[in-house]
């Protein structure tokens, strides 16, 4: 096991910059997720750590060793992809032992190691089967097992659960976390799925357009997103964003003034400044008195089992280009139906403000980290 350090890593493909100036250190034994929308550079970053892709600039260290120009097979990393890519003519046991045989491990040790990993992954009964006789979930478990069996210093996973159905994804996600606790291998996990990133990782790197947006623990990033991209990417349903203007000490959403906490008045906004208000759906509340809050009409009510997702629209039309939707997570017992008109309010402590043109967070003030 080893730490992984990237220092100002950039990769360009002709005029496309896939990743730019990426620096971070994953400590020995930590589980990090790299998350971001499709095309943001996640796979490129992981492939550079694996040695399957070369960096245009910057260095990669595994442990104390600079591996920037070391070939993939000499880096002691194991990678698992979305497509399991098992050897079809070999049994599960042979697939799992393949890397060990190349390493020159004696046969009986190979068998012990394969059995140990198969047990951890619940695939012992499948060891004699061929990949063609396995379901997708079983094949992906074998692919994970093959990578783990080699006891690599670093474990790299690129969207390993994307091809699985929702229930299996949940199940294997839980197993992955358990495996990491058992084996403690330094892990980089790439996903576009923020829930996977949030649930699995010690630390999350949010990427967008090849640039790091924020690094932090799942909880920290969720509570203190640095900008609108991070705020809206993490969380499901995502944070609501409303265009507003700061005017005469008030925030106005369309023609609706919104009572502004003192802290926002003191946040140094300029009169007339356009801002984006961010509100998480779980922070909206039904307002008993009409008139103080957002006047909305209910478009759709979706029962989620434990709670209701109520999709609403602002009654105030505002500018036609402004987003007008407000999603509200309401208690399951709430009686509400499409067409209802309500007033929703939010605790000022739960508000975010972002700069309209850059998306940078204006409120709450400067980050602690
Ligand atoms: P992600 O995995 O986040 O979806 P990728 O790392 O695959 O993103 O791609 C990042 C960007 O780099 C994309 O714009 C993609 O088109 C580009 N890219 C990736 N690989 C190549 C390549 N071999 N040649 C040219 N462009 C590439
Ligand atoms: Mg990818």
- pLDDT tens sequence across 160-198: 999 888 888 998 898 899 999 998 999 999 999 999 999
Judge contact between 235 and 280, C-beta under 8 A.
yes
Protein residues whose CB sits closer than 6 Å to any atom of ligand 1: 13, 16, 18, 36, 38-44
pLDDT digits 0-9 by tens, 8-31: 999 999 999 999 999 999 999 999
For residue 318, the model assigns a pLDDT of 64
For residue 320, the model assigns a pLDDT of 66
Q: How far is the CA of 241 from the centre of ligand 1 (A)?
A: 29
| % pLDDT > 70, the chain | 96
Q: Indicate if the pLDDT at residue 334 is higher than 90.
A: yes
Q: What are the structure tokens assigned to 247, written together?
A: 């005017």
For residue 317, the model assigns a pLDDT of 66
Residue nearest to atom 12 of ligand 1 (CA): 18
Higher-confidence position of 319 and 276: 276
CA separation for the pair 172, 138 (Å, rounded): 10
Closest by CA position to 235, among listed 285, 284, 191, 195? 195
pLDDT digits 0-9 by tens, 238-264: 999 999 998 888 888 877 777 777 778
Q: How far is the CA of 48 from the centre of ligand 2 (A)?
A: 12
Peptide bond into 364 cis (omega under 30): yes
Residue nearest to atom 16 of ligand 1 (CA): 39
pLDDT digits 0-9 by tens, 283-307: 999 987 765 688 899 999 999 999 9
For residue 268, the model assigns a pLDDT of 80
Ligand in nearest proximity to the CA of 47: 1
Ligand in nearest proximity to the CA of 35: 1
Judge contact between 277 and 214, C-beta under 8 A.
no
At 275, the pLDDT band (50, 70, 90 cuts) reads: very high
At 313, the pLDDT band (50, 70, 90 cuts) reads: very high
Q: How far is the CA of 13 from the centre of ligand 1 (A)?
A: 8
Residue nearest to atom 27 of ligand 1 (CA): 13
Q: Indicate if the pLDDT at residue 77 is higher than 80.
A: yes
For residue 369, the model assigns a pLDDT of 44
CA separation for the pair 263, 176 (Å, rounded): 43
Q: Quick one: average pLDDT of 322-338?
A: 92
At 340, the pLDDT band (50, 70, 90 cuts) reads: very high
Q: Indicate if the pLDDT at residue 319 is higher than 80.
A: no
Higher-confidence position of 322 and 132: 132
Residue nearest to atom 6 of ligand 1 (CA): 41
Q: Indicate if the pLDDT at residue 154 is higher than 50.
A: yes
Closest by CA position to 265, among listed 353, 366, 344, 358? 353
């Amino acid at each position: 096991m080893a730490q992984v350090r990237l220092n100002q890593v950039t990769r360009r493909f002709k005029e496309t910059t896939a990743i730019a100036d990426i620096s971070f250190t994953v400590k020995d034994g930590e589980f990090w997720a790299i998350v971001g929308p499709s095309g943001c550079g996640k796979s490129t970053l992981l492939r550079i750590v694996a040695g399957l892709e070369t960096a245009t600039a910057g260095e990669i260290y595994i442990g104390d060793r600079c591996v920037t120009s070391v070939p993939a097979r000499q880096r002691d990393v194991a990678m698992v992809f979305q497509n399991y890519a098992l050897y079809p003519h070999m049994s599960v046991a042979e697939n799992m032992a393949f890397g060990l045989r190349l390493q020159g491990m004696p046969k009986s040790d190979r068998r012990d190691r394969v059995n140990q990993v198969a047990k951890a992954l619940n695939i012992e009964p499948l060891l004699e089967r061929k990949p063609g006789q396995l379901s997708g979930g079983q094949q992906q478990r074998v692919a994970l097992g093959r990578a783990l069996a080699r006891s690599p210093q670093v474990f790299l996973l690129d969207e390993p659960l994307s091809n699985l159905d929702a229930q299996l994804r949940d199940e294997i996600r839980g197993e992955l976390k358990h495996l990491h606790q058992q084996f403690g291998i330094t892990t980089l996990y790439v996903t576009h799925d923020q829930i996977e990133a949030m649930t699995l990782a010690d630390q999350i790197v949010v990427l967008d357009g090849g640039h790091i947006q924020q690094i932090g623990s799942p909880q920290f990033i969720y509570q203190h997103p640095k900008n609108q991209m991070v705020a809206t990417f993490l969380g499901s349903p995502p944070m609501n964003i409303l265009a507003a203007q700061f005017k005469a000490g008030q925030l106005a959403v369309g023609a609706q003034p919104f009572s502004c906490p003192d802290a926002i008045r003191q946040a140094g906004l300029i009169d007339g400044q356009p801002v984006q208000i961010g509100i998480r759906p779980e922070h909206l509340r039904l307002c008993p008195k009409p008139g103080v809050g957002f006047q909305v009409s209910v478009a759709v009510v979706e029962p989620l089992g434990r709670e209701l997702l109520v999709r609403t629209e602002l009654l105030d039309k505002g500018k036609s280009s402004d987003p007008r939707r407000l999603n509200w997570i309401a208690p399951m017992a709430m009686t509400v139906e499409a067409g209802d008109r309500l007033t929703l309010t939010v605790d000022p402590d739960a508000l975010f403000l972002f700069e309209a043109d850059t998306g940078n967070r204006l409120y709450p003030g400067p980050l602690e980290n």
